[in-house]
Amino acid sequence: MIPGSAIHAAPEDWAAQLRDRALAGPRAHDLPAILDAFRQHSDYYRARIGDADWPGVPVLEKADVADVPVGDAPDLKASRTSGTSGFQVTIRNTAREREFRRALLYRPQLFYGLPAEVNQVVFVDGAWCAGPADAPKWFSYGGTTYRTWFCGVAGDPREIWQLLITLRPQLVRGIASGIVRFVETVDAPLKDIGVRIVAPGGESLLPEWRRTIEAAFRARVLDRYGSTETGAIAWQCPDCGRYHANADEIVLEDAADGLVATPLFVSSQPLLRYRLGDRVRFDAGISDCPIGLPTLTIAQARRDDWLVDGNGQRVSPLAFQFEQVPGLRAWRLHQRSDGVLTLYFDADAPSEAAPALLAAVQATVPGRRCELVQGLWQVPATDGFSSKFKRVSSELAGRTNPSA
């Protein structure tokens, strides 16, 4: 077991420990002890670490994750992610680790000042929407009981509006671009619903997105930052407005070539010095804030574009379920100014993956021609998305009347 995480406490104590740790300030990690725990995990890490101290341990890249041995547990569950560059990574966690990930995700809500019972609506991937009469998911944490309903970011805005106006949630969370898409397409008085806090995540929050959400809901927007691989990394503070890093639960290194993270609460498939690639920097000095966790500034992180189909309708970058294509290793999708799509991909068996990929794109972005190009890492910069921080990009994304 990796030392230093609150996951080793009883689950009913997680909220109290995470609250107390946040108020107490930064914790000094016992790096030699952490390295010893990784050495004990497997021959893989013993060979990788050797006698090196922390800075001398090689950084784990996305392509290395598949080589990390996974513990034998009956409750392991796999999650598949494309990451910021489109490179697919499979992450496996036990039931206890999944529950702790949720506890860490809910950590900022310990400081939101919400009532003892909260209705929340969460924008997730998909094109469906829960109904107001559907049974919610219940979760009690930190003295608050949450009743949660989910809606798809590409769902019918009228159905989402009906869900919101019926439930009148105090809290709205979920994918940033999905919340913005809803705000921009629904013709309804969102400010009258009574939402107190909107907590977007999943993408880098643009300043104009923040303004759009604030103006629509007349609510505070408190952003979150994390990844599938590491869980919640940082969250915007309701007191000082800066992003507090969960640096007590994740060893974070703001390296010049991208954030490096070591989550301490994962022992089944532990990641040692894993490079996320996002550009962040820790803030100098200590803010005047009751929360003592260090703060960071996100300089550059994932922010995909929306595409435009042949009918002029916008298509969410999260609408693509390429993870279901067997043998697909990585992909990137770009839309030129003439509307034509180019899907760059790498796969174990390209000739077998290509038909499934083409069918998926045509079904998701109807009315647009799509070209497949094998060789993800040979994408020309002239295609407008040489940055690794966009998996889906479009030269039509900002046009109000795109040509078909």
Q: Are 322 and 82 in contact (CB under 8 A)?
A: yes
- pLDDT, tens digit, 9 for 90 and up, residues 47-70: 999 999 999 999 998 889 989 999
The three-state secondary structure class of 58 is coil
99 and 236: one domain?
Answer: yes
Average pLDDT over residues 243-266: 93
Query: Hey, how many other C-beta atoms are within 10 angstroms of the C-beta on 252?
Result: 22
Q: Which of 187, 221, 255 is at the close of a domain?
A: 221
| Cα 335 from chain centroid (whole Å) | 23
pTM attached to this predicted model:
0.78
Is residue 399 included in any domain, yes or no? no
Tokens of 108: 């900022």
Average pLDDT over residues 194-211: 89
- Residue 102: which of 60, 152, 138 has the closest Cα? 138
- Residue 228: which of 81, 390, 78 has the closest Cα? 81
How many structural domains does the chain have?
3
Q: How far is residue 162 from each of residues 130, 154, 186, 209, measured CA to CA in Å? A: 10, 15, 11, 23
- pLDDT, tens digit, 9 for 90 and up, residues 88-136: 678 899 999 999 999 999 999 999 999 999 999 999 877 789 999 999 9
313 and 376: one domain?
Answer: yes
Average pLDDT over residues 220-232: 92
| Cα 84 from chain centroid (whole Å) | 10
Virtual torsion, Cα 66, 71, 72, 74, nearest 10 deg: -90
The residue segments making up the domain with residue 207 are 113-221
Residue 384: pLDDT over 60: no
Beta bridge partners of 275: 260
Q: Which of 221, 255, 273 is at the close of a domain?
A: 221
Is residue 217 included in any domain, yes or no? yes
Helices (H), 271-349: none
123 and 216: one domain?
Answer: yes
How far does the chain reach from its first CA to its final CA, in angstroms?
A: 56
Is residue 269 included in any domain, yes or no? yes
Residue 308: pLDDT over 80: yes
121 and 166: one domain?
Answer: yes
97 and 236: one domain?
Answer: yes
The whole-number pLDDT of residue 333 equals 87
97 and 232: one domain?
Answer: yes
Angle at CA of residue 61, ends 59 and 63, nearest 5°? 150
The whole-number pLDDT of residue 403 equals 32
86 and 233: one domain?
Answer: yes
Is residue 400 included in any domain, yes or no? no
Average pLDDT over residues 227-242: 93
Average pLDDT over residues 330-346: 87
Is residue 1 included in any domain, yes or no? no
Q: Which of 300, 333, 355 is at the close of a domain?
A: 300
Burial profile 98-107: b = 16 or more Cβ within 10 angstroms, e = fewer:
eebbebbbbb
Is residue 401 included in any domain, yes or no? no
Max Cα separation, the chain?
A: 62
144 and 216: one domain?
Answer: yes
23 and 117: one domain?
Answer: no
d(CA 279, CA 118): 34
Q: Are strands 295-300 and 279-282 parallel, antiparallel or unpaired?
A: antiparallel
The whole-number pLDDT of residue 389 equals 47
